[in-house]
Structure 1
Amino acid sequence: MSKIFVARLLGLDVFDPLGDRLGRLRDVVVVSRGPKRPAACVGLVVEVPGKRRVFVPMTRIQSMEANQVICNGLVNMRRFQQRGQEILVVAEMFDRMITFVDGSGRGVIEDVGLTQTRRGDWEINEYYVQRGEPTANILGLRSRRRHKILVSWDEVSHGAQTEPQSADTFVAAHDEMKPADFADALHEMNEKRRLEIAAHLQDERLADVLQELPDREQVEILSALGLERAADVLEEMDPDDAADLLAEVSEETKHQLLDLMNEEEAKDVRRLLAYPEGTAGSVMTPVPVILTPESTVAEALASVRLEELSPALASTVYVVRPPLETPTGRYLGQVHIQALLRAAPPEPLGDILDTELEPMSDLANISEVVRHLATYNLTSVGVTNKEGRLVGAITVDDVLDHILPDDWRSQD
């Protein structure tokens, strides 16, 4: 019989029979067969180019070794979505608390061993376990005794008392993952697991991740949070993304959440919601970088260095007459970051203004904005109202979500 541990498979290249690389192995899918039979391994989750994760059934696996995995036949490139009784070994079993059947205590799963049976099927055969309960050290961080053992499948209880992998363990293990990639991982989970993980994220982290999920899953998670926590998360989101999300909930819920939000944060969101859908005003960012013509290049460079600014927003400084909060005084022009880098630090922005590029009307159709950005090779453009006051700016990422298909995040 062949045997291999899942942790050794992670990150391995997966090849087709011709030697072409399909992608990298990210997880293993097993299906429970009840408490009396080992869970059967039914396939692998492979990350293909474009960071999409697909399912490769074990019937397509030609060989699975410690240095590579080779598959045969055609692989369905549809995005993987967890179903029914499927369990992701890394995402759901690693760090799961288990109980030993001999009554000797409990332990934590650190790795899972797979064995190929005489029939050629793969199933869970062993666990690499760290004995003992998690304990807290003097810093309050989880730690465990170092007594690690290898136990066979039948030495572990698989009854109802088996605990799932804690959500905080998953969150901590993926702390460095980019929001878009974390959102992809959530998208692949079943609804119950997705809500468990979302509930354990900090408000700011959850806000960043929510913005990357399909509308249906955004509403699903927001609804499960409860009104007060949902309002806190909305405050952490970019106003345009918060407005887009609120547009998907009922009128009653929308008004309840807006009333619970911080007054300043809610004001920006209310302004965006007041615009007709599909207009520049409905998708703009109401807080771009705004300065006066008397402000210096040095001040402008300091303003665009702020960590919370996206690269697209940081690429342009909009110059207006006071007041500087949107809707501002009269819009005068813009200064691109390249112009700032070429100018002397003490030079006033009024001397290097680009006044030739016209701003967009807040009532312009999104398609007009897209054409404008493409025509002039811009990453952002100012948005003004009929009085010529700056009310916001539209960046490339603001319009991409609106010109791509509604389900682009979950497309195969």
Structure 2
Amino acid sequence: MSATRVFVARLAGCSVFDPAGDRVGRVRDVLVVYRRGKSPTVVGLIVEIPGKRTVFVGIGRVTSIGAGQVITTGLINLRRFVQRGGEVRVIAELLGRRVVVRDGSGDATIEDVAIEETAPGEWDVTDLFLRRPKTGAFGRGSTVFAAWDAVREKTEKGEPQSAEQLIATYSDLLPADLASTLLELPEGRRAEVAAELPDARLADALEEMDEDDQIDLIGTLPNERAADVLDAMQPDDAADLIAQLPEKQGEALLDLMEPEEAEDVRFLLTYAPDTAGGLMTTEPIIVSADATVAEGLALIRRHELAPALGAAVCVTLPPYEPPTGRFLGMVHFQRMLRYPPNERLGTLLDTSLEPVRADTSAAEVSRILASYNLVSLPVVDENHRLVGVVTIDDVLDYLLPDDWRSTENRRGPVSTSTAAIPIPRRRTSHGTRR
């Protein structure tokens, strides 16, 4: 049973199914067009299908919206979605927009948009969920519902549209999904959202983009902000990004970064990109031989730690920052789980695992990881001091084609009925869209 009224922000991430119950993808946005003298009408959904590819699903192909899911006829055009002139994305472009309430009660910001089925297969924007400006130093402004025709948009010349509500809508996205979503936004809106995202969140998204997209996005930020984001990135990812920039720009950003972070990045830039030194990260978990199993497990439980880095801890002599004292060995987390909490890690070393030198080729690193079913490999210098760790995700990034992240080159299966059936044209209120 289709709901007659749905709030768009709650649709984001909802699963899309075909009539047989097979999952097609998930909703990323709702596409509308404005009409003179009337509220905007919905022309379709922007749906992400397997492979991070976004496609257009015309509203006429939607048979049900409700209960956290969308049901379609199963007929979906696999052509990559491209926004056309006159089309507006509700989540990406309407949420956060400022409006003036026509009754004279003042300004407000759009926090959500309600769409309603006005006839079979036809949905229109009906109401807006608005938030008033806060009146005191603390708390948030009051909220109110208003019909679309009860407000008018307020956009001062040169005033950026608020991205706060859009960012809140994307708060639960995984970094790779956030990266894909950012790249699907119109260029101007993408820059606004990037400017408002927290440094760590934007850093996570940048790490999931290909080099060209990284450079384009970092170029929209002031140098001081760009340096803060680079500080929040993994040193190896930051080094890869800076290596793609013009030398003068890269050096300027390094000068603005925190000294410790910049030192790590400069160190990584001394290695060729196709070597263990060029692939490694300088932030593995490093402990002394006297550390206990309990201490080791506590370190790998940290929420911000990448899974590959949490698969093992490195044991060295002091100092415990790269380049460390002499590297003694690694202890895998599964081995730690088999021993009592007070067991010393120095007694649990994996003596069969030989570290590689920083100048070892990436091909050899890949062979070792594959041969011994490893997710990380320690890297040492000529004095057997630990300088970093190469993780499996870094090796995959190296082995895959440069454009592997591009949605243009990824087409996943959508359903058994979609790929072979030609999609007829559907007439909409603003023309045709295949």
Regarding TM over 0.5, the answer is: yes
Select the residue among 268, 279, 286 that pairs with 1:283.
279
Q: For residues 152-202 of structure 1, what are the alpha-carbon distances to aligned partners after superposition, in whole Å with 9 as ceiling and x for unaligned?
A: 4xx543686699852122223333433332222212101111110010122
| Residue 268 (structure 1) shift | 0.7
Give 2:206's match in structure 1, choosing from 202, 206, 210.
210
Shift of residue 47 of structure 1?
A: 3.5
* Corresponding position of 1:293: 289
- Return the match for 1:150 from 147, 152, 159: 147
Q: Which amino acid letter does the alignment assign opposite residue 312 of structure 1?
A: A
Following superposition, the deviation at residue 103 of structure 1 comes to: 5.6
Residues 162-177 of structure 1: pairs in structure 2 closer than 5 A? 166-177=162-173
Query: Any conservation in 1 of the 2:3–2:66 contact (CA below 8 Å)?
Result: no
Task: Report the CA distance shift for 1:83/1:261 in structure 2 as closer, same or farther (over 3 A).
Answer: farther
Q: Could you tell me whether the CA contact under 8 Å between 2:55 and 2:79 is conserved in 1?
A: yes
1:77–1:385 Cα change, 3 Å: farther
Contact 1:320 1:331 in 2 (8 A): yes
Please state if 1:363 is matched with 2:359.
yes
Cα drift, residue 44 of structure 1: 0.7
SS state of the match for residue 296, structure 2?
Answer: helix
Equivalent residue number for residue 127 of structure 2:
127
Farther off after superposition, 2-11 or 176-185 = 2-11
CA distance, structure 2, for counterparts of residue 318 and residue 104 of structure 1: 63
What corresponds to 2:92 in structure 1?
91
Q: 1:158 to 1:69 in 2, by over 3 A?
A: same
Q: Counterpart of 1:150 in structure 2: which amino acid?
A: A
Contact in 2 for aligned 1:219/1:245 (Cα 8 Å):
yes
Residue 23 of structure 1 is matched in structure 2 by 25
Taking a change above 3 Å as real, the CA distance of residues 145 and 268 of structure 1, as seen in their structure-2 partners, is closer
Q: How does 1:103-122 map to 2 (within 5 A)?
A: 105-109=106-110, 110-113=112-115, 122=122
Normalized against structure 1, the TM-score is what?
A: 0.85
Structure 1 residues 357 and 112 mapped into 2: Cα distance closer, same or farther (>3 Å)?
A: same
CA pair 95-328 structure 1, distance change in 2 beyond 3 A? closer
Report 1 or 2 for greater relative contact order, CA contacts < 8 Å, sequence distance ≥ 6.
Answer: 2
Question: Quick check: 1:240–1:284 contact (8 Å CA) kept in 2?
Answer: yes
SS in 1 for 2:127: strand
Partner of 2:372 in structure 1? 376
* Cα pair 1:39 1:123 within 8 Å, conserved: no
Contact 1:38 1:123 in 2 (8 A): no
Residue 20 to residue 174, structure 1, CA distance change in 2 (3 Å): closer
Cα separation, partners in 2 of 1:90 and 1:5, compared to 1, 3 Å: farther
Contact 1:96 1:164 in 2 (8 A): no
Matches within 5 A, 1:4-403: 4-7=4-7, 10=11, 13-32=15-34, 39-49=40-50, 52-58=53-59, 61=61, 63-66=63-66, 69-72=70-73, 74-78=75-79, 80=81, 82-100=83-101, 105-109=106-110, 110-113=112-115, 122=122, 124=124, 126-130=126-130, 133-137=132-136, 140-146=138-144, 148-152=145-149, 155-157=150-152, 166-403=162-399
User: Judging changes above 3 Å, is the alpha-carbon distance between structure 1 residues 373 and 137 closer, same or farther for their aligned structure 2 residues?
Assistant: farther
Q: Deviation of residue 105 (structure 1)?
A: 4.5
Q: 1:108 to 1:302 in 2, by over 3 A?
A: closer
Q: Distance in 1 between matches of 2:129 and 2:300?
A: 50
Q: Distance between the aligned counterparts of 2:351 and 2:85, measured in 1? A: 59
Q: Give 3-state SS (helix, strand or coil) of 1:318's partner.
A: strand
Identity %: 47
How far apart in 2 are the matches of 1:370 and 1:13? 37
Cα-Cα RMSD: 3.2
CA contact (8 A) 2:292 2:341 kept: yes
Q: CA-to-partner distance for each residue in 1:22-44, whole Å, 9 max, x for gaps?
A: 233342112346x6565453321
25 and 309 in structure 1: CA distance in 2 versus 1, 3 angstrom threshold: closer
Inter-partner Cα distance in structure 2 for 1:394 and 1:403: 13
Q: Give, in angstroms, the shift of residue 358 of structure 1.
A: 1.2
Question: How far 1:239 moved relative to its partner?
Answer: 0.3
- Tell me if structure 1 keeps the 8 A contact 2:292–2:343: yes
Q: Distance in 2 between matches of 1:373 and 1:161?
A: 56
Moved over 6 A (4+): none
Q: Is the 8 A contact 1:97 1:164 kept in 2?
A: no
> Is the Cα–Cα contact under 8 Å of residues 380 and 396 in structure 1 kept in the other structure?
yes
**Equivalent residues, number:** 402
Aligned to 1:286, what secondary structure does the other structure show? coil
Q: Is the 8 A contact 2:203 2:233 kept in 1?
A: yes
Q: Are the structure 2 counterparts of residues 199 and 161 from structure 1 closer, same or farther at C-alpha, using a change threshold of 3 Å? A: closer
Q: Counterpart of 1:175 in 2: which secondary structure? A: coil
Q: Deviations over 1:258-279 (max 9, x none)?
A: 1121221111101111111211
